[in-house]
Amino acid sequence: MSESEFPDAFAQARKYIGVEKMDDQNDPVQMVLRFQDVRKCAHNWKSFQSGAEPGRIVVPSEVAIRSIRQIPFEVDPPAHKGYRTLVEPWFKRPLKAEYTNKLKHIVDDALDEAFSVPEFDVVTDFALPIQSKALAVLLNTPSKEAETWISWGTHVFRSEGEALDGDKANLLYGYLDSEIERASNEPVDDLYSLLLSAEVNGKKMTREEVKGVMILTFAGGRDTVINAITNIVAYFAEHVEELKKLKGDEPAIKKAVEELVRYFSPLTHMGRVATEDKVVCQHTVKSDTRISLCWASANRDEQVFENPNNVILDRKNNPHVAFGFGVHNCLGSTHARQLLRALIAAMAERVDNIQLLNANINLEQWGSVTRKVGFHQLTACFLGS
Ligand code: EMZ
């Protein structure tokens, strides 16, 4: 299999069963696999809630390492709306030219660095620094903060060989406490200060709520963005002619980003907790048990996507759910899209050739299904100017 090939791991289960049952720390999950079912369940926030015990909708569950609710992600309507409305304009700043320019600089610096060495690891030397520096732009905090975040590695709650790492999580929590303290002593134009001064649903945001938004901002767009960047590099390494065709063509780059995130689906799934007994795709879901909305499977559903296992960069009809669906659709998607567009634009402009030298693929295990989601390590050589 070539490095840029990501098989449809759920094909059989989706076609014949519709769900995949898995255990997760003794709190089982029924993964919902078909596109229409995924969208229906995502839409039905009354029966399938996000506002369960903090950490429980994440798979693997983070209940053991997190007691703080991520906001707005783990809040249900109607309370959800006040939080989402508050943060939405901030998370739309990526549409401004000044913001896009900053992203372009980050990507250009990463390419300069890549061209200057014979080989490097795309995950830790390219994707991770881009993700972290871009996060500093999103928060509007000094870019040197990114150095600290880079030192945490690709995931804030997980470390190699350990599904969940409480010590690592505490690093993030401690860091956020001190940043919240800083911003409350001396407010500036950053996300912390905005949140600390905000009122939601008629009440001032508590520090715990501010921390909840910040944890989401740090955790939600980390491994997902890193996987997206690395997988895109792997893809264009093996399809460099397609990359060159995108040069200077903004509308084509936009379509390409949508298709690549559909194909790679950097976030495999997200859970919900049933508030009542339900039947999904002829399977019983008991009250207070978990389902997950499997974006990765829905995005390969042959009922919806023609030739779902082919990357068709100018795919016409592409209602993918890589950024989720419904009221909880990805808050960071504007930022992620702008970053990936900037990355592809710069690569199309400057890269002549990419050689992949060595790969260690990242396989996830969900019940009986093994899914390739990205790379632990991808050594590459970039040629260009
Ligand atoms: C949660 C999640 C959000 C979770 C959109 O995804 O991302 C995961 O990587 C985190 O571990 O806590 O933020």
Residue whose Cα lies nearest atom 2 of ligand 1: it is: 220
Ligand 1 probe mutation, 50, 56, 58, 362, most atoms within 8 A of CB: 58
**In the prediction, which pLDDT does 163 show?**
76
**In the prediction, which pLDDT does 158 show?**
86
| Burial (Cβ within 10 Å: 0-12, 13-18, ≥19) of residue 322 | buried
Collapsed DSSP state (helix, strand, coil) of residue 302: coil
Ligand 1 contacts CB of residue 4 (under 6 A) = no
Look up residue 163 and give its two tokens.
């599904």
Ligand 1 contacts CB of residue 267 (under 6 A) = yes
**In the prediction, which pLDDT does 201 show?**
85
Q: What is the pLDDT along the chain (385 residues), one digit of tens a residue?
A: 799 999 999 999 999 999 999 999 999 999 999 999 999 999 999 999 999 999 999 999 999 999 999 999 999 999 999 999 999 999 999 999 999 999 999 999 999 999 999 999 999 999 999 999 999 999 999 999 999 999 999 888 988 767 788 989 999 999 999 999 999 999 999 999 999 999 998 999 999 999 999 999 999 999 999 999 999 999 999 999 999 999 999 999 999 999 999 999 999 999 999 999 999 999 999 999 999 999 999 999 999 999 999 999 999 999 999 999 999 999 999 999 999 999 999 999 999 999 999 999 999 999 999 999 999 999 999 999 9
Residue whose Cα lies nearest atom 6 of ligand 1: it is: 220
Atom of ligand 1 nearest to the CA of 324: 5
Ligand 1 contacts CB of residue 213 (under 6 A) = no
Ligand 1 contacts CB of residue 58 (under 6 A) = yes
Ligand 1 contacts CB of residue 74 (under 6 A) = no
Question: How many whole angstroms from 188 Cα to the centroid of ligand 1?
Answer: 27
CA distance linking residue 365 with residue 342, whole number of Å? 32
Model's pTM, two decimal places? 0.98
Ligand 1 contacts CB of residue 223 (under 6 A) = yes
Asked if 100 and 339 count as a contact pair (C-beta separation under 8 A), the reply is no
DSSP secondary structure of 305-358: SSSTTS--TT-S-----TT--STT--TTHHHHHHHHHHHHHHHHHHEEEEEEEE
Ligand 1 contacts CB of residue 220 (under 6 A) = yes
Ligand 1 contacts CB of residue 226 (under 6 A) = no
Query: Letter for the amino acid at 176?
Result: L
Residue whose Cα lies nearest atom 3 of ligand 1: it is: 220
**In the prediction, which pLDDT does 1 show?**
77
pLDDT in tens, 156-170: 898 876 778 898 999
